[in-house]
Amino acid sequence: MLGLSPEQLAVALVAALAAAFVRGLAGFGMAILLVPVLGLAIPPTEAVVTANWLGIFIGLVGLRAMLGASERSAFVIGGLAMVATPLGVWLLSVTDPALARLLIALVALVAFALVLLPKRPDGHRPSGIETGGTGIACGVLTGFAGMPGVPVVPFYLRRQLAPQLARASMMTIFLATSVAGVSSAMALQVATWRELLLASLLFPAVLAGNWLGNKAFGKVSDAAWRTFVGLVLGLSALAALWRLVQA
């Protein structure tokens, strides 16, 4: 089916379920976990586009509540990211697949390292340069790796924000970047209908995983949530490197 063996399809479904659970609980992480797995079965470009389609599908679930709970910076970052995404798609289209897999694994490592940096003091308000730079970096990494969370997660998690606010803001940005990623890939003729079909096939698993993650989110403390977010980034970075070695 879609060029995948039954074993590859089973792995993709399990990965989609697990990645969506993380997304529902942490507010991010679906692409970081899913793209490296899909990238072993299909070309990295197709893996990124498939992840972006899934980001659109799941981002539309509970859209009104998500937008209403987001910080205003999310709309600035999301808008800039949409403008910068085509650059990332173009870079991916001209990069050798083996090198792209290596760079995507390194992206996951960078995300983990950034979250380990010291937290900002109470009341810290990001400057316009910091917010703008986050938006541009987010867009480039959306197009190239399907991983907009690398600059976005540290932007929110290093500040003293309530988990609900940080989570909703990140989800708003990731919906915008998913739309931009798919649109750019289509405009540059990088995407095909194959990715849409694969995303449609994986979406029930994503929907179930996201629902379970949402249920779990309401039952964890602030400290536990932040710890989980850090662990997700660390484990995803290690997993990406391990998959790269095995490929």
Please state, as a whole number, how many other Cβ atoms lie within 10 Å of the Cβ of residue 216.
Answer: 16
For the stretch 151-163, pLDDT in tens is: 888 888 888 888 8
The whole-angstrom separation of Cα 223 and Cα 163 is 9
Assigned domain for 16 exists: yes
pLDDT at residue 240, rounded to an integer? 65
Q: Is residue 132 helix, strand or coil?
A: helix
pLDDT at residue 1, rounded to an integer? 58
Range of the domain at 112: 6-246
Assigned domain for 165 exists: yes
- 88 near 143, Cβ under 8 Å? yes
Taking the model in full, what pTM does it have? 0.81
The whole-angstrom separation of Cα 30 and Cα 15 is 9
* Distance between start and end Cα atoms, the chain: 21
Mean pLDDT computed over 159-172: 90
Assigned domain for 143 exists: yes
Assigned domain for 114 exists: yes
pLDDT at residue 33, rounded to an integer? 78
**Mean pLDDT (the chain, rounded):** 85
pLDDT at residue 173, rounded to an integer? 95
Assigned domain for 39 exists: yes
Assigned domain for 78 exists: yes
Q: Is the pLDDT of residue 177 over 70?
A: yes
The whole-angstrom separation of Cα 95 and Cα 125 is 37
- 153 near 170, Cβ under 8 Å? yes
The whole-angstrom separation of Cα 224 and Cα 217 is 10
pLDDT at residue 246, rounded to an integer? 64
Structural domains counted in the chain? 1
- 42 near 67, Cβ under 8 Å? no
pLDDT at residue 203, rounded to an integer? 96
For the stretch 42-60, pLDDT in tens is: 887 888 889 889 999 999 9
The whole-angstrom separation of Cα 168 and Cα 163 is 8
For the stretch 75-101, pLDDT in tens is: 999 999 999 988 888 888 888 877 877
Assigned domain for 1 exists: no
Mean pLDDT computed over 106-116: 76
Assigned domain for 127 exists: yes
